Chains A and B, each alone.
Chain A
Amino acid sequence: QKEVEQNSGPLSVPEGAIASLNCTYSDRGSQSFFWYRQYSGKSPELIMFIYSNGDKEDGRFTAQLNKASQYVSLLIRDSQPSDSATYLCAVRFNYGGSQGNLIFGKGTKLSVKP
Chain B
Amino acid sequence: NAGVTQTPKFQVLKTGQSMTLQCAQDMNHNSMYWYRQDPGMGLRLIYYSASEGTTDKGEVPNGYNVSRLNKREFSLRLESAAPSQTSVYFCASSDLQGAETQYFGPGTRLLVL
Chain A residues with a Cβ under 8 A of chain B: 8, 32, 34, 42-46, 49, 88, 90, 92, 99-102, 104-107
With a cutoff of 8 Å between Cβ atoms, the chain A residues found around residue B44 in the complex are 104
Count A/B pairs, Cβ under 8 Å.
Answer: 44
In the assembled complex, the Cα of A42 lies from the Cα of B105 at a distance in Å of 9
Contact residue range for chain B?
Answer: 10 to 19
What string of 1s and 0s marks CB contacts (under 8 Å) between B44-82 and chain A?
110010000000001000000000000000000000000
Known pairs A43-B105, A101-B33; A34 contacts B100 (CB<8 A): yes
In contact, B42 and A106 (Cβ under 8 angstroms):
yes
Q: Give A22 Cβ to nearest chain B Cβ, in Å.
A: 15
Contact A44 B45 (CB under 8 A): no
Chain B, 91-113, contact with A by CB distance < 8 Å: what is the 0/1 string?
00000011011101111000000
B residues 15-42 near A (Cβ < 8 Å) are: 33, 40-42
Q: In the complex the two chains form, what is the Cα distance from A101 to B42 in whole Å?
A: 15
